[in-house]
Amino acid sequence: MTILQTHHTIRSTPAGPRAASLSPWLAGLWSVAYLGLAVLHLVRDTGAPWVPTEASVLGSLSSSDVSVLIVALGALGLVGLALRSRSPRVAGSLLVATGLVTALVLADARSLTFLGYLPMLLLGLVGVGPVDEVATDVLVPALASVGESVGGLALVLTGVAALRGTTDRPGWPVATAARVCRWAVAVAVAVPAFYALTRIAWALGIPFGVRDEFLVELGDGKFAGLGLGLAALVGCVLTAGLVMRWGEVFWSWLPVIGGRPVPVRLALLPSVFVGAVVFSAGLAFWRLMWTGQITDIPGNEADWAAWVPELFWPLWGVALAVAGLAYAARRVGER
């Protein structure tokens, strides 16, 4: 599916008009806010939330280097937004390219970490979980990364919207969309399920794919891994819903919404967003492999289960996004 075909599908669904009207505002807000913060960091040496981390494709850059990149991306985003009415093809291409770099390269694994720990953070806010133990210097960069993921996808959606008038190509046929969705869902479930298996095994004291010494060194950290593994399993269930009946119609026993059709955007937007976040996180592990720093994470080369599942995350991210897009194409085509 091309980007233009994708947008034809999206704008034919209830998600299209709303996403199209909101995305330029989010894209503009991100460009202005991050550009301003980056300029302040460079000019006045104020603190920046984008601190260097190995869990990033840009892990070898300093905070100042990243600020320079953000200034460039923010400026390109504003230029693209300004050109939408005058030159939609140029503006759309510029916005899509800028958004992809922002969401997939600038954002890093901390976006996924934040989403994984979000349930525990929410429980902590109501006095159930250990929210006080989450350090500000960890939470703020994670939120900054989430903002980059959201801003990048908003730029991409805005760019696709600008390009929609330059083509009349149709979307996917229903049969094709259904077939692609099934294959994409199979991949998008298998990868996180394998990751979850390793983390659950560790929490049970089973050294699956690691040395016994690794579990001892990990200590209570294995229970944090359990939380991430369970979150991955929840994601597997939700992803499977893209090819299940309950992914199209809410269960009848649910109050108020029971028996009603599931809004397409409720499945489409999270699939694309989480897909981008997972893809970005996976790229960070490939960078560690490329630079020979993979042993810097807990464990060593013998503890393959600590890092091999993450190398499949880019595949997971692509499959999840494709599954969401194919789901939307099928739902719209069946109407």
Instruction: Report DSSP letters for 239-306, one per residue.
Output: HHGGGSGGGTB--TTSTTTTTSBPPHHHHHHHHHHHHHHHHHHHHHHHHHHHHT-GGGSSS-TT-GGG
- Please answer whether residues 292 and 144 qualify as being in contact, where contact means their C-beta atoms are separated by less than 8 angstroms: no
Rg over CA atoms, the chain: 21
List, for residues 178-197, the tens digit of each pLDDT value.
999 999 999 999 999 999 99
Asked if 159 and 93 touch (Cβ cutoff 8 Å), the reply is yes
Q: What is the pLDDT of residue 45?
A: 79
Percent of the chain with pLDDT over 70: 84
Count of beta carbons in the 10 Å neighbourhood of residue 182: 13
Query: φ and ψ at 278, to 5 degrees?
Result: -65, -40
Please give the C-alpha separations between residue 258 and each of 242, 245, 252, 285, 332, in angstroms, as whole numbers: 18, 13, 4, 41, 21
Contacts of 284 (CB under 8 A, 6+ apart): 54, 55, 56, 57, 59, 108, 109
Q: How confident is the model at residue 44 (pLDDT cuts 50, 70, 90)?
A: confident
Q: 108 and 60 in contact (C-beta within 8 Å)?
A: no
Best mean pLDDT range from 93-97, 167-171, 217-221, 282-286: 93-97
Total count of residues recorded for the chain: 335
- Residue 25 confidence (pLDDT): 95
Q: Considering only residues 274 and 130, tell me which one the structure prediction assigns the higher pLDDT.
A: 274
Report, as an integer, the average pLDDT of 209-232: 86
Residue 258: Cβ within 10 Å count: 11
DSSP class of 102: I
Query: Is residue 5 scored above 60 in pLDDT?
Result: no
Residue 99, pLDDT above cutoff 80: yes
